[in-house]
Amino acid sequence: MTIIKQLFSLQELDLALDSVRSQKADAEKELTARVALEKIERSLDDERSKLEVIQSAHRMQQVEAETMRQRSSTLDEQLYSGEVANSRDLPSLQLEVSNVKAQVDQKEILLLELSVRAEDTRRRIADLEKELAEVQAAWDLRQAYLNQQVALLTAEEAELSAQRSQLAQTLDQLEVLKYDTLRRSKGGTAVAKVERGLCQSCRMSLPSQHLQRVRAGRQTVNCSSCGRMLLFLA
Ligand SMILES: [Zn+2]
């Protein structure tokens, strides 16, 4: 087998390795990302903090409302017990009673609003918890699949890698070095096929003299346009 054919075989192994490694990197990246789950978890945290704020406001307002209700009943008792000795004090007491009652009413409305907001937030939390459970279940399946893929790809990578070094050992090391350098600078393909007189990588037509040397295959010939090593096919 000519050196260029062997280098082409080496390239096929390298391209297979590139693909395996890129698939493995994608799977590993997806395994660490948990993107969908993290988004729901963040929303859940937000809603839970909101609920805490609403609940503590509700407790505070309830305490205040209770104090006002007590004040209101104390005033009522005073008003109806006839204990107000001075009749001039009566209007101011009546005014205070109605003021306190109005404040109690306002508090009741506020408490009701807070209860409604808490209920809405609880509903959103329940929805998010349900969504999280569903996404978590789907993620568990995906994770199992990805872990399996990573294991398979790792085995495939080891196998290809062994084949690659076995083949590379048997080749002229200078040619391998030239090939490796070219592959790095040419986006992964160092060896280009020649079909119907055209370099299949850059589509340039080769001069017939050039083509003869490629066809003979005694030495590696580089494309005068893209610089890749040329393998004659037809
Ligand atoms: Zn070319």
* pLDDT tens readout for residues 121-157: 999 999 999 999 999 999 999 999 999 999 999 999 9
- Check whether residue 159 and residue 177 sit in a common domain: no
As a whole number, mean pLDDT of residues 101-127 equals: 97
Share of the chain above pLDDT 90, in %: 79
Asked whether 47 and 114 are in contact (CB, 8 A), the reply is no
pLDDT of residue 109: 96
**What are the b/e assignments for 39-72, b being 16+ CB within 10 Å?**
ebeebbeebeebbeebbeebeebeeebeebbebb
H/E run at residue 229:
strand 229-232
How far apart are the CA of 201 and the centre of ligand 1, in A? 5
How far apart are the CA of 62 and the centre of ligand 1, in A? 82
| C-alpha angle 213-216-220 in degrees, rounded to nearest 5 | 60
How far apart are the CA of 193 and the centre of ligand 1, in A? 9
- Check whether residue 160 and residue 178 sit in a common domain: no
44 compared with 215, residue with greater pLDDT? 44
- Check whether residue 108 and residue 37 sit in a common domain: yes
- Check whether residue 58 and residue 112 sit in a common domain: yes
Domain assignment of residue 218, given as a range? 173-232
Number of domains in the chain: 2
| C-alpha angle 216-219-223 in degrees, rounded to nearest 5 | 85
How far apart are the CA of 18 and the centre of ligand 1, in A? 21
Look up tokens 């393909």; give the residue: 189
As a residue count, the chain comes to 234
How far apart are the CA of 222 and the centre of ligand 1, in A? 8
Report if residue 141 sits inside a domain: yes
How far apart are the CA of 160 and the centre of ligand 1, in A? 27
- Check whether residue 119 and residue 215 sit in a common domain: no
